[in-house]
Amino acid sequence: MLKRISYFFRSLFEKPFKVAFIAPHYLGKPTNAGSAVHANYITREMAMLGNEVHVFAKGDKASKKTEYLNKGKIVYHYVPINFKQDIQKVKDKLISQKISNVLFDNEVINELIDEHSKEDFDVIHSTILMPGVLMTKFFIDVKWFYTVHSLEKNRLKFMTEDEKRYFGIESWRESAMKCADSVIAVSENLKQEILENYNLEEKDVFKIFNGVDLELFKPDNTISDKKQVVFVGRLSLEKGVDKAIRIARQTLRKNKEINFVFVCPSNDEELVYKIPSIQKLQKQLENLDKDYPERVIWHKKPLSREDLAKLYQESMLLIQPSRYESFGMTVLEAMACGKPVITSDRGGLPEVVGNAGFALPLKNYLFADRILELIENFRLRERYSRRAIERAKKFEWKNIAEKTIELYKAKTGNKDKNATPGESIKNLVTLNNNGNSENKKENNVSENKK
């Protein structure tokens, strides 16, 4: 009650910036999906900075919950989906998921307009492309910001055959980003992908990284005696699960003390395990587990954020041999726990890794050699561990939220004197370019010290 009263009087003298954030999967089952993690953290940090944030998410029934955080507040709007039981009867699980998103989209329009009628939103922000958000943008005349976590057209060759059948739908939805007032990419590499694949002006596309929870993902100040390597990624060719399995086989043969932990969950087992390409990956993991029963652990269910942090802390390093990766959140989380990382040199991974690990060409033997080198060389492992901890600090969620709010205000012309001092759009672009230079410099330093 005291926080509510304090917020009310503060807002009389210092009008908060009002944000509508559309995040269908804000709450629910444990998930490591980048967009869901992004939505959870950035909205809370925005509220902590003194803003009024309204989150619109799927819910079993219509409800609203308000939470006061520091100087701001966050309002959760849980939006139910009509005909949910009928949707669940659809045999094609992929199409039922897409129908569910369309119906949620329709319900969100009403909820957004209703909340806007009480007091105008300053911006609308979404992490998935929704036609309803686009229509609402024009109806209430509010600028729309869209955060891109990957490009479907560039993921196409790594999709399952079932997913490819509906690529036309996803391609149509993705093209709607042309109507966004600002597009936010989670890495410089993804920003360039967007500019190359869509007819967008560079002044409307910005790089703002994902972040990491440094309170949860942190070193445990003990030296792990487990020669354990961890891989986290859903069962897909995109995440390089098949590559990770082959890398594990090579490493396990060469060193009898190393163990591997695979966290390869499926959010929908009924759907995924019926797909031939996924069944093949599943069989490969089962065979690896059978051949090395005491040295391979496979987590088939999603781990909680707390359990993931514990797993990173107990391991010596993480590998991420992805074929397509716009950012690499699990890589950053392992780094925050003080673990060296070995990744592919694809997508945004080199930008995240910097000098805190190795971003390698996607060759199995290169990964295996680096794993053995780090496992057997304590001094080298400790050097990269220290770098990882320091680098992860640059990705604090508070900083990510500040940059996002600064972008909102720069694009909407909100220059009130009470606003947090921020950069102009020009400075944000300059910052992005500096980030690239910094990555190159750190990688050069890393190469020289090897």
Output the domain CATH number for residue 175.
Answer: 3.40.50.2000
Q: Hey, which residues does 360 pair with through a beta bridge? A: 344
- Residue whose pair of structure tokens reads 């807002």 in the numeric block: 11
DSSP three-state, residue 74 = strand
The reply to whether 278 falls in a domain is yes
Residues 12, 67, single domain; the answer is yes
In the structure encoding, which two tokens stand for residue 437, read together?
């230079």
Residue 431 CB-half CA count within 13 A: 17
In the structure encoding, which two tokens stand for residue 95, read together?
């199409």
Residues 110, 237, single domain; the answer is no
Describe the crossing of helices 329-336 and 305-314 by its angle, rounded to 10 degrees. Answer: 60
Residues 265, 154, single domain; the answer is no
Residues 239, 200, single domain; the answer is no
Domain end, chosen from 377, 393, 409, is at 393
Residues 329, 186, single domain; the answer is no
Q: Rounded distance, CA 189 to CA 207, Å?
A: 9
Query: What is the reported pLDDT for 434?
Result: 46
Q: Among 351, 356, 363, 234, which Cα is nearest to 299's?
A: 234
Residues 161, 244, single domain; the answer is no
The reply to whether 408 falls in a domain is no
The reply to whether 56 falls in a domain is yes
Residue length of the chain: 450
The reply to whether 212 falls in a domain is no
The reply to whether 426 falls in a domain is no
In the structure encoding, which two tokens stand for residue 312, read together?
């990173």
Four-residue CA torsion sign, 135, 140, 143, 149 = negative
C-alpha distances in Å from residue 180, one per residue of 39, 106, 117, 285, 345: 18, 19, 22, 41, 30
The reply to whether 341 falls in a domain is yes
Domain end, chosen from 364, 393, 422, is at 393
Q: Among 143, 56, 173, 152, which Cα is nearest to 104's?
A: 56
Four-residue CA torsion sign, 399, 32, 348, 200 = negative
| CB-CB contact of 172 with 152 (8 Å) | no
The reply to whether 418 falls in a domain is no
Query: What is the reported pLDDT for 374?
Result: 96
Residues 152, 195, single domain; the answer is yes
| CB-CB contact of 166 with 98 (8 Å) | yes
Residues 192, 250, single domain; the answer is no
Residues 200, 307, single domain; the answer is no
- How many separate domains does the chain show? 2
Q: Rounded distance, CA 31 to CA 37, Å?
A: 8
Residues 69, 188, single domain; the answer is yes
Start-to-end CA distance of the chain, whole Å, equals 57
Query: What is the reported pLDDT for 208?
Result: 96
Domain end, chosen from 177, 207, 237, is at 207
Residues 243, 369, single domain; the answer is yes
Q: Rounded distance, CA 304 to CA 165, Å?
A: 32
Can you say how many angstroms the Cα of residue 418 is from the centroid of all Cα atoms in its chain? Answer: 31
| CB-CB contact of 73 with 53 (8 Å) | yes
Query: What is the reported pLDDT for 415?
Result: 52
DSSP three-state, residue 98 = helix
The reply to whether 223 falls in a domain is no
Residues 284, 158, single domain; the answer is no
Buried b (16+ CB within 10 A) or exposed e, 21-41: bbbbbbeeeebbebbbbbbbb
Q: Among 300, 293, 297, which Cα is nearest to 266's?
A: 300
Enumerate residues 6+ apart whose C-beta is below 8 A from 272. 235, 266, 278
Tens-binned pLDDT, residue by residue, of the chain (450 aa): 777 778 776 777 778 999 999 988 775 554 556 778 899 999 999 999 999 999 998 888 889 999 999 889 999 999 887 665 555 666 666 666 667 777 787 788 889 999 999 999 999 999 877 777 888 888 899 999 999 998 877 777 776 666 666 666 666 677 788 889 999 999 999 999 999 988 899 999 999 999 999 999 999 877 667 899 999 998 888 999 999 999 999 999 999 999 999 999 864 554 554 677 788 888 999 999 999 999 999 998 889 889 999 999 999 999 999 999 999 999 999 999 999 999 999 999 999 999 999 999 999 999 999 999 999 999 999 999 999 999 999 999 999 999 999 999 999 987 543 444 444 455 554 444 544 455 555 544 444 444
Q: Rounded distance, CA 152 to CA 80, Å?
A: 27
Domain that holds residue 170: 2-207
